Amino acid sequence: MKYLIVGLGNIGAEYAHTRHNIGFDVLDAIAKEKDEKFEVERLAAVARIKFKGRTFILIKPSTYMNLSGKAVKYWIQAEKIPLENVLVVTDDIALDPGALRLRPRGSHGGHNGLENIIESLGTSDFARLRFGIGNDYSRGRQADFVLSSWKTDEKKMLAERIDQAVEMVKSFGTLGTANTMNLYNNK
Catalytic residue list: 20
Task: Give the 3-state secondary structure of the chain.
Answer: CEEEEEECCCCCHHHCCEHHHHHHHHHHHHHHHCCCCCEEECCEEEEEEEECCEEEEEEEECCCHHHHHHHHHHHHHHHCCCHHHEEEEEEECCCCCCCEEEECCCCCCCCHHHHHHHHHHCCCCCEEEEEECCCCCCCCCHHHHHCCECCHHHHHHHHHHHHHHHHHHHHHHHHCHHHHHHHHCCC
Nearest CA-CA partner of 46 in 78, 15, 17, 92: 78
